[in-house]
């Protein structure tokens, strides 16, 4: 069998079914893509944004479909929960795409002994820090609903985990 495409590139391009503006690679759900050198079988490792994520079945099916289209029809998809997914795994491109779509991305990753504390979430539309949380639960379980006091627009904020 002649392989059509790089399996990692094929999987990384799978779009997240709940946040359709980012791929699973950009969102940090994709952990690893390994190809057995003897059999050529591909094993993909993913971590959900949270344990009860209802989109995982769709993501697994989309991964298998993308790999089959790339010439890897016999693929395995593993789901791992440890270490738990973190918003630190969202790429800079993913953060920019979320903001462009009106979803406030979590702040940048920090290192060291300091515990980050979010005092304000900036509005992705006007940039104002004058915002308030309306509901801990937004359009999906991994997002919260916020409102901007400056421009009065509601927006989702991806929860920092």
pLDDT band at 111 (very low <50, low <70, confident <90, very high): low
Domains belonging to the chain, first-starting first, are 7-79 (3.30.300.130), 102-158 (no CATH)
CA distance 67 to 23: 15
Average pLDDT on 125-143 reads: 90
pLDDT at 55: 92
Q: What is the 3-state secondary structure (H, E, C) of 127-143?
A: CCCCEEEEECCCCCCCE
Intra-chain end-to-end CA distance of the chain, in Å: 42
pTM: 0.77
- Residue 109, pLDDT > 70, answer no
pLDDT tens, position by position, 44-88: 999 998 888 889 999 999 999 999 999 999 899 999 999 989 888
Q: b/e string for 85-94 if b means 16 or more Cβ within 10 A?
A: bebebbeeeb
């Amino acid at each position: 069998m002649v392989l059509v495409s790089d399996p990692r590139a094929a999987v990384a391009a799978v779009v997240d079914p709940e946040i359709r503006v980012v791929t699973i690679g950009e969102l940090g759900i994709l952990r690893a893509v390994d190809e057995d050198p003897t059999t050529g079988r591909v094993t993909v490792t993913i971590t959900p944004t949270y344990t009860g994520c209802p989109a995982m079945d769709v993501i697994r099916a989309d991964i298998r479909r993308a790999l089959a289209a790339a010439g890897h029809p016999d693929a395995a998809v593993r789901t791992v929960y440890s270490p738990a997914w973190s918003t630190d795994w969202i790429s800079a491109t993913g953060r920019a795409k979320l903001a462009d779509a009106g979803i406030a991305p979590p702040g940048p990753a920090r290192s060291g002994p300091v515990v980050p504390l979010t005092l304000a979430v900036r509005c992705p539309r006007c940039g104002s820090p004058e915002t308030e949380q309306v509901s801990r639960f937004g359009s999906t379980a991994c997002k919260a609903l916020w409102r901007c006091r400056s421009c009065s627009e509601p927006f989702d904020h991806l929860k920092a985990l």
